[in-house]
Amino acid sequence: MAGQSNHELSLFSAEELEFIAEDEIVDIVPNLKMGPLNFISGDFGPFTPQIVTQVPLWLAIALKKRGKCSIRPPLWMSVEKLSQVLEAERDSQEMSDQLPFHYVEISRLLFDHARDNIPDVYMVRSLIEDIRNVRFHKVETDLEAFNGRTIAVKIKNLSAMEVNIVRPFIGRALQAFYKHDSPELIPDPERVSDRRPQVVNNAPRRQLRR
Amino acid sequence: MASSSGAEGESLDDYDSLIATTDVELLKRAWRNEKAAPEILRFESHLISRVKEQIQLMEETVEEKSSGGNDPLSVSLYQMDLDRTLFLLRSYLRIRIQKIEKYMFHILKTEELWNRLSKDEKDFARTCSSDLNQHLEETVLSKLPENYQSVLKQSIISEEDDMVPEPQLDTFVLCRSKEYLTGIQLEDGPADDRQFSSKLFEMERGVLHFICYKSIKALVESGKLDLL
Amino acid sequence: MYGRTACQLVKEFASGDKGQLVSFNSDLFQQVVAECSQHHLELQSLIRKIQEEGLDIQTARNADHYGALIHHLALVRNKRCLMAYVFNRAEIIRNLLWKIGHVLPQEIEEKLCHTEEEHFKKHSTALKSYMSKVMVDLTVDMVPPKDPYIKVRVLDDIGDGILLSDDKTANFACHSMHLLKRTDAEQFISRGQMEELTG
């Protein structure tokens, strides 16, 4: 119980991931005139009609909702680019490095709030869906390759959402490997002192038996 | 784009110079680290007092602007910026308080951890642990035979505190290095490790790793690594 | 078998839904406490017996020694189960502060024993005192904030002169679109008179 809830502390919820992604910078084309905004999180603007400027995604969406700008989708969100990425993802077991860490959240936010600013939006959406699936399948295959020798895992180019999905699994699996594969550690007197919390520790073995 | 992992090195530089200097960005980093680390980290006292000041100033600005009433658009945008910063501050403080609630006895008796708390957190931890102590005494311990009445020890023959819940430092965390790191000592790795020929481990800048928290604890504390 | 009742107590806790409380099982709890006293009596009488036989309690390794050891270990195990039970319940109770707030609804309060109620109140005071010192309310904003304004379409002729929270009035003609505070729009959305627009 106590050990498990550590995971709770370390997991980012979907809302929190979205919150983090909302700080990514995008280009917008304002249609209003407004002086600079001196936020705690930084200075943005000034805003002049038809002059491209860079703002965080949350601000872009807020302006868009109020009808004050259009959003330029990031370069990777085009049919051409995404088709290349999909092909690359299918051709290799490696994860492509062409997409940003928060590609899932960014694209979802833009689909929800700026659909009319994305050329070929249906195609873009289905390409991203396909890419997600291919990538996720690869992650699963990678996980199968884990074994008891794995004490640290390098994960190249995994996105935030993918990380979140595999995190609980990898965390627990590595921990279990780590414990099972190091029986020599058990009698070590040094380790006795930093064993799991004892008050709450009456059924720790059960976890390992699964 | 800033976070595009293509050409990671370069864009990270741009990103750093563009945004890492704002206190909000530093707070976000502290928040993520605190959320991901199994144990409580050092309280970012300077950062937190700067952020609180900025929040207060912004609250005054928003108040002023909205009473002026001539620019509801920018007022609502300033309010959103304020709300985002307030959320980070609250969530950061809340995670720390929850860690204190969970491991109060351990924190109280471990000097290194104790020194990581702010003054107010120390007060809270003291009150809390004496409350929990009292609760355990009244509910359980006072009903047990006299040699078995300690909160911290199983019985008087225990040589050390063997009843104190501690965070699990051998838990696996996800991290990303801000620079090329080498010579990371992996804790307790199996001797015939095939994947990494030596126990010394290296990390490229910007690449994600799942790794045992104990091995990189010091790097998190020195700010060379970020947890995600 | 020694320790069975204690194990039952911990199992009862562990089998509950995570974060949910069941009533404090004082019946089982008292049984385990009584078992502890019984073990202690047996333990003491065995130690007395060893001493009466003129043996050194530190070095004697006879049947009585091992008997005493078993009673000691059974007692320790029972203690740990009792502590685990109360400690973990206390953790859930403290977490209620985050989930529900400083006042517990009757149906939850009924599940607490007297000392648990006290613990909840004291912890609530401790938390309030911390929050007033740092001047930040930690019980709000549990999830990241969203734009307080949403785009809505009116589905029903609601009419004009509707007073909003910013003291403005609005004309909600059927099919018209508005940017409203989420809190203002919610009542209409829940009645099916408006829908939130995305895209």
How big is the A-C interface in CB pairs under 8 Å?
46
Neighbours of A59 (CB within 10 A): 26
Q: From the CA of C49, how many Å to the nearest CA of chain A?
A: 32
Q: What is the DSSP letter of B215?
A: H
CA distance C122 to B128: 8
Contact A19 C179 (CB under 8 A): no
Domain region containing A83: 2-21+73-209
Give pLDDT tens digits for B159-172.
Answer: 889 999 999 888 88
Contact B210 A152 (CB under 8 A): yes
State the pLDDT at residue A147. 60
| pLDDT tens digit at each of 210 positions of chain A | 333 333 444 478 889 999 999 999 999 999 999 999 999 999 998 999 999 999 999 999 999 999 999 999 999 999 999 999 999 999 988 888 889 999 999 999 999 999 999 999 999 999 999 999 999 888 877 777 666 555 677 777 888 888 877 777 776 666 676 666 654 443 333 333 333 333 333 333 333 333
How big is the A-B interface in CB pairs under 8 Å?
169
For C114, nearest residue in chain B (alpha carbons): B139
Residue A85 belongs to some domain of the structure = yes
For C77, nearest residue in chain B (alpha carbons): B154
Q: Where are the domains of chain B?
A: 8-166, 168-228
Residue B42 above 50 pLDDT? yes
* pLDDT average, residue stretch C30-45: 95
CA distance B141 to B150: 7
Contact A66 C149 (CB under 8 A): yes
Cα pseudo-dihedral B77, B4, B172, B29, rounded to 10: -40
* pLDDT average, residue stretch C25-51: 94
Three-state DSSP state, A210: coil
Q: What is the DSSP letter of B20?
A: I
Amino acid in the structure at residue A115: R
Residue A6 belongs to some domain of the structure = yes
Residue A53 belongs to some domain of the structure = no
Residue B62, both tokens? 């928003």
Three-state DSSP state, C148: coil
Question: Would you say C194 and C170 are in contact if contact means Cβ atoms under 8 Å apart?
Answer: no
Contact B78 A181 (CB under 8 A): no
Give pLDDT tens digits for C63-121.
Answer: 999 999 999 999 999 999 999 999 999 999 999 998 888 999 999 999 999 999 999 99
The beta-carbon contacts of C16-25 under 8 Å, at least 24 apart in sequence, are C19/C92, C19/C95, C19/C99, C20/C92, C21/C89, C21/C92, C21/C93, C21/C108, C21/C111, C21/C112, C22/C111, C23/C110, C23/C111, C24/C89, C24/C111, C24/C112, C24/C113, C24/C116
CATH T-level assignment (fold) for domain B168-228: Ribosomal Protein L9; domain 1 (3.40.5)
Q: Which residues of C154-184 are buried (b: 16+ CB within 10 A; e: fewer)?
A: bbeebeeeeeeeeeeebebeeeeebebeeeb
The CATH number of the structural domain formed by B8-166 is 1.20.58.1030
Share of chain C above pLDDT 70, in %: 99
Q: From the CA of A88, how many Å to the nearest CA of chain C?
A: 30
Of A16, A61, A111, the CB nearest to C144: A16
Residue B3 above 50 pLDDT? no
Q: Could you give the ipTM of this predicted complex? A: 0.84
- Nearest to residue B92, comparing CAs of B37, B28, B167, B174? B28
Range of weakest confidence among A122-126, B5-9, B97-101, C182-186: B5-9
Burial label, B57 (beta-carbon count in 10 A; 0-12, 13-18, 19+): exposed
Of A59, A100, A153, the CB nearest to B210: A153
- Nearest to residue B86, comparing CAs of C145, A12, C132, A11? C145
The CATH number of the structural domain formed by C4-134 is 1.20.58.1030
Which ranges constitute the DSSP H helices of C100-165?
106-109, 114-134
The CATH number of the structural domain formed by C149-196 is 3.40.5
Q: Where are the domains of chain C?
A: 4-134, 149-196
Q: Which residue has the tokens 């006292």?
A: B45
Q: From the CA of C80, how many Å to the nearest CA of chain A?
A: 6
Residue A131 belongs to some domain of the structure = yes
Residue C143 sits at the chain A interface (C-beta within 8 Å): yes
Q: From the CA of C94, how many Å to the nearest CA of chain A?
A: 14
Q: Which residue has the tokens 């492509």?
A: A96
Q: What CATH number is given to the structural domain containing A182?
A: 1.20.58.1020
